[in-house]
């Protein structure tokens, strides 16, 4: 360790450049991983928010909640430890600006019963109490400037909703969610329900003590239960996005790790003559090898650690519109992989150090 640190202090410029390369490579890997993870999470955060075990949809919907329509009578055929009714539809709302111009915002509407377990936890404001009120994801405040008390109008309709509160981490298919009543959902989804017509919803959300949903009873052949994990994977576009970004980030991590390893290996080989002189002076190969590994470890920890700090700092100043999220497990795994591969590059070079003939190296 003493020899490794002394060489780093002596050749500051060269080792600063090496660390700089490691910083840039690790920063790129961390940042792209955060972007990919954040975009994937924006498809599912509202579903995770239910803290449910399963979802019941119509058989004809092919696990697509947008195509599922369940009558309230059919919903009564579903029983479990806990059940909650959900109406879901995509839409566009308009918000009038101070200058008189209106902005259009893509949203997802969730029609729910506020007394059931899928009612989101509020971080600001109050719960809705009637069909003309809604709770919004906080991103609508951060990105669109919508405040509590603001009125948004459904595009192509006279339907208006007053925002009464905000919740967080509530996005579906990358669109922020507006929670409202089931009656309001039916107005939005079906325009108007005749009093003689039975109301419809999209799904029944269930909690069950059995992992395989064996405790959920469905007395209707037209309804099919899905485990939440299975349903999330089948959200339109989600699996393709996760696989694409997963492969891309995976290859990027491997390539970055190999580049760092090769960089360390070449750096060590360039010092063959120096090692030859040291061996001629009686310094053992074991001592030199330990110094090489220690130096590699110091460089990789400083470089990768700096890249990680830059990534965390960047995440604090990114605009709210950027779908970026850090995951502790991903960050820890990438950090460990980059450092380990760098040290492995040093270990490969140790074999060369051990075989160095002092006379050949000096000559």
* pLDDT tens, N- to C-terminus, the chain (363 residues): 555 556 666 666 777 888 888 899 899 999 999 998 988 888 889 999 999 999 999 999 988 998 999 998 899 999 888 899 999 999 999 887 655 567 889 999 999 999 999 999 999 999 998 889 999 999 999 888 899 999 999 988 888 999 999 999 999 988 999 999 998 998 888 876 544 456 889 999 999 877 678 788 888 889 999 999 899 988 888 888 888 888 888 888 788 777 777 777 777 777 767 776 777 777 777 777 777 788 788 888 999 999 999 999 999 998 878 888 899 999 999 899 888 888 887 777 777 666 666 666 565
Q: Report pLDDT for 251.
A: 86
List the one residue out of 94, 101, 128, 96 whose CA is nearest residue 112.
128
Residue 156 falls in which region: left (phi positive, over 0), alpha (psi -120 to 50) or beta? left
Rounded CA-CA distance 235/115 in Å is: 26
Question: What residues form DSSP beta bridges with 19?
Answer: none
- 3-state class (DSSP) for residue 77: coil
Domain spans of the chain, in order of start:
2-43+239-362, 45-236
Do residues 237 and 43 make contact, with C-beta atoms less than 8 angstroms apart? yes
Whole-number pLDDT of residue 332: 93
How many C-beta atoms lie closer than 10 Å to residue 274's C-beta? 14
Bridge partner residues of 43 (DSSP): none
What pLDDT shows up at residue 196?
A: 42
Tokens of 182: 């089931």
Task: Please state whether the predicted TM-score (pTM) of the whole model is above 0.95.
Answer: no
The residue to which tokens 């989804």 are assigned: 189
Cβ neighbour number for residue 3 with a 10 Å cutoff:
16
Record the tokens describing residue 106, joined without a space: 């893509």
Question: Bridge-partner residues for 104, per DSSP?
Answer: 94
Helix (H, G, I), strand (E, B) or coil at 64: coil
Looking at residue 359, its pLDDT comes to 61
Half-sphere exposure of 257 (CA within 13 A, CB side): 18
As a whole number of angstroms, the distance between CA 62 and CA 81 comes to 25
Q: What pLDDT does 216 receive?
A: 86
Q: How far apart are CA 183 and CA 295, in angstroms?
A: 67
Contact (Cβ atoms closer than 8 angstroms) between residue 346 and residue 292: yes
Query: Kind and range of the H or E element at 224?
Result: strand 223-227
Separation between Cα atoms, residue 173 and residue 191, nearest integer Å = 23
Torsions phi, psi of 237, nearest 5?
90, -15
């Amino acid at each position: 360790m003493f020899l490794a640190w002394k060489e780093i202090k002596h050749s500051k410029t060269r080792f600063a450049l090496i660390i700089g390369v490691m910083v840039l490579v690790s920063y790129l890997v961390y940042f792209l991983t955060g972007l990919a993870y954040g975009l994937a999470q924006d498809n599912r955060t509202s579903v995770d928010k239910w803290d449910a075990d399963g979802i019941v949809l119509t058989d004809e919907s092919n696990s697509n909640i947008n195509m599922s329509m369940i009558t309230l009578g059919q919903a009564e055929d579903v029983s479990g430890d806990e059940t909650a009714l959900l109406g879901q539809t995509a839409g566009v709302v308009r918000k009038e600006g101070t200058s008189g111009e209106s902005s259009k915002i893509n949203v997802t509407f969730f029609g729910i019963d506020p007394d059931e377990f899928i009612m989101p936890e509020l971080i600001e404001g109050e719960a809705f109490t009637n069909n003309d009120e809604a709770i919004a994801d906080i991103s609508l405040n951060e990105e669109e400037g919508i405040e509590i008390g603001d009125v948004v109008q459904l595009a192509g309709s006279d339907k208006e909703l007053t925002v009464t509160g905000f919740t967080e981490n509530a996005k579906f298919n990358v669109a922020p969610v507006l929670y409202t009543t089931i009656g309001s959902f039916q107005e939005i989804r079906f325009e108007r329900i005749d009093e003689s017509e039975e109301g419809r919803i999209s799904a029944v959300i269930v909690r069950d003590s059995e992992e395989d949903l064996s405790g959920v009873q469905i007395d209707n052949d037209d309804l099919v239960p899905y485990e939440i994990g299975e349903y999330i994977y089948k959200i339109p576009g989600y699996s393709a996005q996760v696989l694409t970004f997963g492969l891309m980030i995976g290859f990027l991590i491997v390539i970055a790790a190999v580049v760092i390893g090769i960089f360390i290996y070449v750096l060590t080989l360039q010092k063959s003559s120096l090692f030859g002189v040291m061996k001629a002076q009686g310094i053992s190969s074991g001592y030199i090898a330990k110094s090489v590994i220690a130096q590699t470890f110091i460089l990789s920890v400083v470089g990768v650690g700096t890249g990680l700090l830059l990534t965390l700092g960047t995440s604090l100043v990114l605009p709210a519109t950027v779908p970026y999220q850090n995951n502790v497990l991903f960050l820890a795994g990438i950090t460990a992989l980059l450092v380990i591969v760098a040290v492995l590059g040093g270990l490969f070079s140790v074999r060369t150090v051990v075989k160095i003939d002092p006379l050949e190296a000096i000559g």
